[in-house]
Amino acid sequence: MKELMKSFEKYTKTECGACGRFLELQKTEVTYLGSVFTLELPACPSCGTVFVPEELATGKMLEVEKILEDK
């Protein structure tokens, strides 16, 4: 498993749609392009919903793609 030092801190200013609480960064395992990474993803401290950042959802994480190319 790879540790990807990608911070989604900007999303901690986002509120959970269900609870209205600000999201907190939480280490989460993510499968991306066939590999498993540990990422700090913003999650709701109240209901545990993990927010998938736009960069991940749209596959625009250049850092991830770079790591995959390097292996």
For Zn ion, the closer of residues 19 and 36 by Cβ is: 19
Question: Is the CB of residue 19 less than 8 Å from the CB of residue 44?
Answer: yes
Q: How far is the CB of 49 from Zn ion (least distance, A)?
A: 5
Q: Catalog residues that contact Zn ion under the rule CB under 5 A.
A: 16, 18-19, 44, 46-47
Closest CA to 39 of 50, 49, 47: 50
Q: How far is the CB of 70 from Zn ion (least distance, A)?
A: 36
For Zn ion, the closer of residues 14 and 38 by Cβ is: 14
Q: Where are the beta strands (DSSP E) in the chain?
A: 2-3, 24-32, 35-43
